[in-house]
């Protein structure tokens, strides 16, 4: 057979010598391949038979680990060649349980290649993997982590994710094991997000401070993925990233191994800069200053000329991510001015990557900037980028032109885009059409311009026009009376042309059917000419377009009786069409047109009413390409108005969300689509043309997952928190909390409505503590009443016996009742955390007042009773038999601790206490407060009366004083921090001055 085929090739004429030779060569090559395949199959079958015999023979139990590994390796090679080796799957699984690393490694390799997520043997290896995860051999740990990450089934993830997390947080795990554990969790989270537990968040965030830069990098990658979906749960990573960035860039805290061509740790810099963009800008001035220092350092380093390509690439990677963060912050005006000039140079760079990144950063700037003037200066260069040799640069240029478009430059930009559309790549034509349609509608100031551009766009790129675009054109024309005549005239001219795109025919069929009678008297627009124009397109169109034309013809029957005979002929012809839809349509229209009167036909063919709110997918289609990426962007392609709408960002993150589209700025009155005459009608039309404003999206799907607990809130206070808190209610300094590992001291000073609180953290543990983190929290109802500003963060690592401090400035903007809380977490082997209530209460903002007896009683009477007085009678907790008691010294000390100015000799009864104070709230707001305390030492009872110029403070002060006085004399020893108060007074004064 082969010889006859070859003879056939050689027997042909000399005119086909070249083709014959090529055919012969191909034939010989195919023959050789077939022969080689036959030999390969024969050899593989022989080898498989030998391996099957070894595994299933009587000596199988005597096979050494080496031979098992050898045969599994052979099976791996055969499997890679494409042959079936099902019988060896179980042997590979059994090899995982081997004690030698080399044998276990081959077993894991075979398992990850042979088994898929739904494989029936997969459940057999879960226990073996768990055993390797708990083994003290780090290499076994890594093999198990590799297997989990590569297979990554839900069953395996749910069973083993806890062990993976344990390896990640264990203080005994080596750095390379932690890195693999973090990346394994990342892989599991991307496939099955619910596997990562909410309670792991705080512990995972703490590892961002790990001394090993590789661990910090891997954990940051994990946190980036988690923070995108759970920003509230991982908000603690914001301060961690800002602090670590500052330590790397400004303080130079990094190993020399991570200095990449003079750029310190560029990968972790990029990730942390990106992570900071997932959160709104911090309101904390200290954190903002940390970020500002780091960003300024990056900009300064970028001014240095790189010496090689690697340094240039690393430097640019960090620089462009820093630029994106500066734009995201939108508060650093000095930094914004620096990057605006640089971006103009970047988009003109000779390097394709730099041009691409420059255009993307400028698109981000256009999405956030208040004014587009700095970007418009480079409009000619940006338009020129549409002709760049690289398609990715052309895409970015298109994005930027779309984002920088406004009322002033809409027409030239749309004109350039239309001009370029004729020669644009097919890969971006649909996106260009969509953006041109949106810009034309959004910024149309002339109704005729809108119609011209829309029809011209469809004529030029009809194959790339989605249905949403031409539906939108019909919708706007229908809802605007002033557009109908002009649109009908223009679409008729397009339909008359010999070559007319089918999408234009659809528009023509609808518009002429609805509004063709408005132009029937115009030259070249007679009923017969409209009919002939549409009839000429019937044969070359799809069934859906023919259906639209037939629907327009039934309306012609009513509007143009003079051509009814021709129309009936068309209906009769299509009543025998093979397409069932067209046949049914034609038969029904024929029956309607044949009725003796037109009453039913008039009802059926009544004018279309204005479109109500409809679903529009224009912006959905535009943003959909960014919606499913693993790294979600925090802004959308478009101007500041698009990014100011939270629904736009929701759209990019949830592409399945349906959004209602308003087609009318003002509803059209009447059923015939007529608009209000005069100026108001024109204004209404303009509102319609700018109708891409997305309306309410409707209710989102209810979430069944509970919100993660806020561990820094008052609901999670640590045991014994009240011991130090109660002491410090009446003292400016002391110990707030102490255990075997940490001591927390507090010093405070208040001036007017401002208060300075300095926290001292002393490490009592026998080793250094790391990842030291503090988080402040306040009841949401009180956040408008009490604000704070952090002036410094504690050190991330506190060595044994050392101390770190944190300064916080509080401002009482209004009367508040609940105190702020603070959560302190740190690593001392395992994660340790305490949540405490800070002794920042209302009476701390009071100043004692000195009054004479005459002035006191005068003001007491002026304030009066009723709403401005509260009075309570109470005794010591536990009654007279309790271990506590009240005496004159205790009461005086308590009253003075509440910052009342004790007025001796004012009350006629000498044992009574009278006090006066002024509460400072907000900007210069003062509330006068008076107090009278009548003790009965025999019965251990008290009557407390408080009057104030504003009744809102009465219940709060009464509650605080009653709780403290009812405790009686405290038997707990008092501890005072050794340094003097001069230090805090000087510090407080410096802050006020600055």
The Cα–Cα gap between 720 and 737 comes to: 8
- CA dist list (Å): 308 to 257, 285, 302: 19, 38, 14
Closest-CA residue to 916 (of 838, 992, 846, 866): 846
Closest-CA residue to 230 (of 618, 531, 653): 653
Closest-CA residue to 511 (of 541, 555, 469): 555
Q: In which residue are the tokens 């944190």 written?
A: 806
Top pLDDT among 338 and 360 is at 360
pLDDT of 144-160, one tens digit each?
999 999 888 888 888 89
571-579: long-range contacts, CB 8 A cutoff, minimum separation 24? 574/546, 574/550, 579/543, 579/546
852-857: long-range contacts, CB 8 A cutoff, minimum separation 24? 852/906, 853/903, 853/905, 853/906, 856/903, 856/906, 856/914, 856/916, 856/930, 857/906
The Cα–Cα gap between 941 and 920 comes to: 31
The Cα–Cα gap between 18 and 3 comes to: 20
The Cα–Cα gap between 298 and 319 comes to: 6
Residue 819, token pair as written in the block: 């105190």
Closest-CA residue to 323 (of 303, 342, 344): 342
Burial 797-827 (b: 16+ CB within 10 A, else e): bbeeeeebebbbbbbbbebbbbbbbbbbbbb
Residue 880 annotated as part of some ligand binding site = no
Residue 570 annotated as part of some ligand binding site = no
Residue 71 annotated as part of some ligand binding site = yes
Supply the DSSP symbol for 195: G
- Give me the pLDDT at residue 44, please: 78
**Has residue 966 got a pLDDT over 90?**
no
The Cα–Cα gap between 517 and 492 comes to: 12
The Cα–Cα gap between 687 and 132 comes to: 67
Supply the DSSP symbol for 820: P
How high does pLDDT run on average in the chain?
81
- Give me the pLDDT at residue 17, please: 55
Top pLDDT among 34 and 271 is at 271
The Cα–Cα gap between 3 and 420 comes to: 59
- Give me the pLDDT at residue 742, please: 92
- Give me the pLDDT at residue 61, please: 59
Residue 380, token pair as written in the block: 């000619």
- Give me the pLDDT at residue 946, please: 92
Contacts of 779 (CB under 8 A, 6+ apart): 713, 714, 818
pLDDT of 38-92, one tens digit each?
787 788 788 778 877 777 765 555 677 788 888 888 888 888 888 787 777 787 7
CA angle, residues 569, 574, 579, in degrees to nearest 5: 175
Pair 772, 794: CB distance under 8 Å: yes
**Has residue 835 got a pLDDT over 90?**
yes
Pair 737, 978: CB distance under 8 Å: no
The Cα–Cα gap between 109 and 645 comes to: 50
Question: Rounded mean pLDDT of 553-565?
Answer: 86
- Give me the pLDDT at residue 293, please: 92
**Has residue 901 got a pLDDT over 70?**
yes
The Cα–Cα gap between 451 and 472 comes to: 12
The secondary structure element, H or E, covering residue 822 is strand 821-828
- The DSSP secondary structure of 507-550, one letter per residue, reads HHHHHHHHHGGGGTTSTT--HHHHHHHHHTTTTTS-HHHHHHHH
- Rg, C-alpha atoms of the chain: 40
Task: Give the chain's largest Cα–Cα span.
Answer: 139
Residue 23 annotated as part of some ligand binding site = yes
Length of the chain: 994
Residue 22 annotated as part of some ligand binding site = yes
- Give me the pLDDT at residue 177, please: 94
Q: In which residue are the tokens 């240029």 written?
A: 397
Query: For the purposes of burial, counting CB atoms within 10 Å of the CB of 67, is it exposed (0-12), middle (13-18) or buried (19 or more)?
Result: exposed
HSE value, Cβ hemisphere, 13 Å, CA-based, for 233: 21
- Give me the pLDDT at residue 62, please: 66
Residue 73 annotated as part of some ligand binding site = yes
Which H, E and C letters describe 727-793, residue by residue?
A: HHCCCCEEEEEECCCEEEEEEEEEECCEEEEEEEEEECCCCCEEEEEEEEECCHHHCCCEEEEECCC
Residue 607, token pair as written in the block: 């004018």
**Has residue 387 got a pLDDT over 60?**
yes
Estimate to the nearest angstrom the gap between the alpha carbon of 855 and the chain centroid.
Answer: 61
The Cα–Cα gap between 845 and 849 comes to: 13
Pair 86, 110: CB distance under 8 Å: no
Question: Rounded mean pLDDT of 441-448?
Answer: 80
**Has residue 445 got a pLDDT over 80?**
no
| 3-state SS assignment for residue 812 | strand
Question: Rounded mean pLDDT of 506-510?
Answer: 89
The Cα–Cα gap between 820 and 840 comes to: 7
- Give me the pLDDT at residue 3, please: 45
**Has residue 987 got a pLDDT over 50?**
no
Neighbours of 747 (CB within 10 A): 23
- Give me the pLDDT at residue 133, please: 92
Contacts of 282 (CB under 8 A, 6+ apart): 238, 239, 242, 288, 291
Question: Rounded mean pLDDT of 848-870?
Answer: 86
Pair 714, 837: CB distance under 8 Å: yes
The Cα–Cα gap between 150 and 134 comes to: 19
Question: Rounded mean pLDDT of 191-210?
Answer: 91
Residue 750 annotated as part of some ligand binding site = no
Residue 723, token pair as written in the block: 């011991």
Closest-CA residue to 776 (of 839, 727, 826, 712): 712
Closest-CA residue to 858 (of 924, 921, 903, 925): 903
> How much of the chain, in percent, has pLDDT values that exceed 90?
24
- Give me the pLDDT at residue 882, please: 58
Residue 902, token pair as written in the block: 């004790």
| 3-state SS assignment for residue 694 | strand
Q: What are phi and psi of 950, to 5 degrees?
A: -130, 125
Pair 448, 409: CB distance under 8 Å: no
- Give me the pLDDT at residue 204, please: 93
Q: What are phi and psi of 845, to 5 degrees?
A: -95, 20
Predicted confidence band at 810 (pLDDT cuts at 50, 70, 90)?
Answer: very high
CA angle, residues 343, 347, 348, in degrees to nearest 5: 120
Neighbours of 83 (CB within 10 A): 15
**Has residue 241 got a pLDDT over 90?**
yes
Top pLDDT among 27 and 180 is at 180
**Has residue 575 got a pLDDT over 80?**
yes
The secondary structure element, H or E, covering residue 959 is helix 954-965
Q: In which residue are the tokens 């108005």 written?
A: 641
Pair 356, 393: CB distance under 8 Å: yes
The Cα–Cα gap between 87 and 143 comes to: 24
Residue 70 annotated as part of some ligand binding site = yes
**Has residue 657 got a pLDDT over 50?**
no
Helix 154-169 × helix 126-133 angle, to 10°: 10
**Has residue 697 got a pLDDT over 70?**
no
Predicted confidence band at 226 (pLDDT cuts at 50, 70, 90)?
Answer: very high
Query: For the purposes of burial, counting CB atoms within 10 Å of the CB of 19, is it exposed (0-12), middle (13-18) or buried (19 or more)?
Result: exposed
Residue 72 annotated as part of some ligand binding site = yes
Range from 293-297, 430-434, 731-735 carrying the lowest mean pLDDT: 430-434
């Amino acid at each position: 057979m082969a010889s006859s085929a070859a003879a056939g090739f050689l027997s042909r004429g000399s005119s086909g010598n070249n083709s014959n030779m090529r055919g012969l060569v191909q034939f010989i090559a195919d023959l050789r391949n077939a022969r080689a395949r036959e030999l390969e199959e024969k050899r593989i079958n022989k080898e498989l038979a030998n391996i099957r015999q070894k595994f299933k023979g009587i000596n199988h139990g005597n096979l050494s680990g080496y031979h098992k590994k050898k045969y599994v390796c052979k099976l791996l090679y055969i499997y890679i060649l494409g042959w079936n080796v099902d019988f060896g799957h179980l042997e590979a699984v059994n090899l995982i349980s081997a004690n030698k690393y080399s044998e276990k490694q081959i077993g894991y390799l075979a398992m990850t290649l042979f088994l898929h997520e739904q494989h029936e043997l997969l459940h057999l290896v879960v226990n073996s993997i768990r055993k390797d995860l708990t083994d003290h051999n780090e290499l076994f740990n890594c093999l198990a982590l590799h297997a989990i990450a590569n297979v990554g089934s839900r069953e395996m993830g749910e069973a083993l994710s806890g062990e993976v997390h344990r390896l990640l947080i264990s203080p005994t795990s080596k750095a390379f094991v932690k890195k693999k554990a973090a990346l394994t969790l990342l892989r599991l989270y991307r496939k099955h997000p619910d596997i990562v537990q909410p309670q792991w968040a705080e512990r995972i965030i703490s590892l961002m401070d790990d001394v090993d830069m590789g661990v910090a990098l891997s954990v940051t990658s994990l946190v980036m993925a988690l923070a995108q979906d759970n920003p509230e749960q991982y908000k603690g990573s914001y301060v961690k990233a800002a602090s670590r960035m500052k330590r790397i860039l400004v303080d130079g805290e990094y190993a020399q191994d991570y200095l990449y061509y003079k750029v310190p740790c560029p990968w972790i810099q990029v990730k942390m800069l990106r992570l900071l963009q997932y959160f709104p800008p911090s309101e904390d001035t200290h954190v903002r200053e940390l970020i500002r220092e780091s960003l300024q350092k990056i900009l300064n380093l970028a001014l240095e000329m790189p010496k090689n390509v690697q340094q240039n690439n690393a430097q640019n990677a960090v620089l462009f991510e820093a630029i994106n963060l500066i734009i995201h912050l939108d508060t650093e005006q000095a930094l914004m001015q620096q990057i605006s000039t640089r971006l103009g140079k970047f988009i003109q760079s000779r390097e394709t990557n730099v041009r691409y990144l420059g255009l993307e950063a400028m698109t981000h700037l256009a999405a956030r900037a208040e004014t587009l003037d700095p970007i418009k200066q480079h409009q000619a260069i940006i338009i020129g980028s549409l002709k760049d040799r690289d398609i990715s640069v052309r895409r970015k240029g298109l994005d930027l032109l779309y984002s920088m478009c406004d009322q002033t430059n809409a027409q030239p930009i749309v004109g350039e885009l239309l001009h370029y559309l004729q020669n644009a790549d097919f890969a971006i034509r649909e996106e260009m059409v969509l953006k041109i349609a949106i810009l034309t509608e959004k910024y149309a100031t002339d109704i005729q311009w809108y119609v011209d551009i829309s029809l011209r766009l469809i004529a030029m790129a009809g194959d790339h026009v989605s249905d949403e675009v031409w539906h939108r054109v019909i919708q706007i024309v229908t809802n605007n009376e002033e557009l109908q005549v002009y649109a009908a005239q223009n679409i008729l001219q397009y339909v008359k042309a010999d070559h007319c795109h089918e999408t234009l025919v659809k528009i023509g069929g609808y518009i002429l059917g609805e509004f063709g009678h408005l132009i029937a008297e115009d030259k070249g627009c007679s009923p017969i000419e409209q009919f002939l124009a549409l009839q000429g397109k019937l044969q070359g169109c799809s069934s859906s377009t023919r259906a639209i034309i037939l629907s327009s013809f039934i309306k012609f029957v009513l509007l143009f009786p003079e051509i009814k005979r021709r129309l009936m002929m068309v209906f009769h012809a299509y009543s025998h069409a093979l397409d069932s839809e067209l046949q049914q349509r034609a038969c029904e229209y024929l029956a309607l047109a044949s009725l003796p009167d037109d009453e039913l036909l008039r009802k059926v063919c009544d004018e279309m009413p204005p479109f109500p709110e409809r679903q529009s997918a224009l912006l959905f289609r535009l943003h959909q390409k960014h919606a499913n990426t693993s790294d979600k962007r925090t802004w959308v392609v478009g101007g500041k108005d698009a990014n100011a709408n939270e629904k736009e960002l929701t759209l990019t993150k949830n592409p399945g969300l349906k959004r209602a589209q308003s087609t009318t700025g003002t509803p059209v009155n009447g059923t015939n689509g007529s608009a209000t005459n005069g100026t108001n009608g024109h204004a209404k039309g303009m509102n319609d043309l700018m109708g891409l404003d997305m309306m309410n999206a409707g209710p989102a799907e209810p979430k069944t997952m509970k919100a993660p607990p806020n561990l820094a809130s008052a609901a999670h206070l640590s045991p014994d928190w009240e011991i130090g808190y109660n002491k410090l209610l009446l003292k400016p300094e002391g110990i707030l909390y102490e255990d075997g590992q940490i001591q927390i001291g507090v010093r405070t000073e208040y001036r007017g409505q401002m208060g300075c609180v300095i926290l001292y953290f002393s490490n009592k543990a026998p080793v250094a503590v790391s990842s030291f983190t503090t988080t402040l929290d306040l009841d949401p109802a009180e956040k408008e009443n009490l604000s704070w500003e952090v002036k410094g963060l504690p050190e991330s690592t506190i060595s044994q016996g050392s101390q770190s401090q944190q300064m916080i400035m509080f401002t009482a903007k209004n009367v508040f009742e609940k105190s702020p809380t603070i959560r302190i977490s740190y690593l001392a082997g395992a994660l340790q955390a305490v949540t405490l209530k800070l002794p920042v209460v209302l009476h701390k903002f009071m100043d004692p007042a000195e009054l004479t007896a005459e002035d006191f009683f005068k003001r007491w009477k002026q304030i009066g009773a009723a709403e401005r007085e509260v009075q309570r009678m109470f005794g010591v907790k536990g009654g007279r038999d309790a271990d506590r008691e009240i005496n004159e010294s205790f009461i005086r000390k308590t009253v003075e601790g509440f910052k009342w100015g004790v007025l001796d000799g004012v009350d006629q009864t000498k044992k009574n206490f009278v006090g006066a104070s002024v509460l400072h709230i907000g900007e210069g707001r003062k509330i006068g407060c008076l107090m009278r305390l009548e003790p009965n030492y025999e019965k251990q009872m008290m009557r407390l009366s408080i009057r104030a110029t504003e009744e809102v403070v009465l219940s709060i002060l009464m509650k605080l004083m009653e709780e403290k006085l009812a405790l009686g004399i405290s038997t707990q020893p008092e501890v005072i921090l050794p340094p003097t108060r001069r230090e805090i007074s000087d510090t407080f004064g410096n802050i006020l001055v600055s």
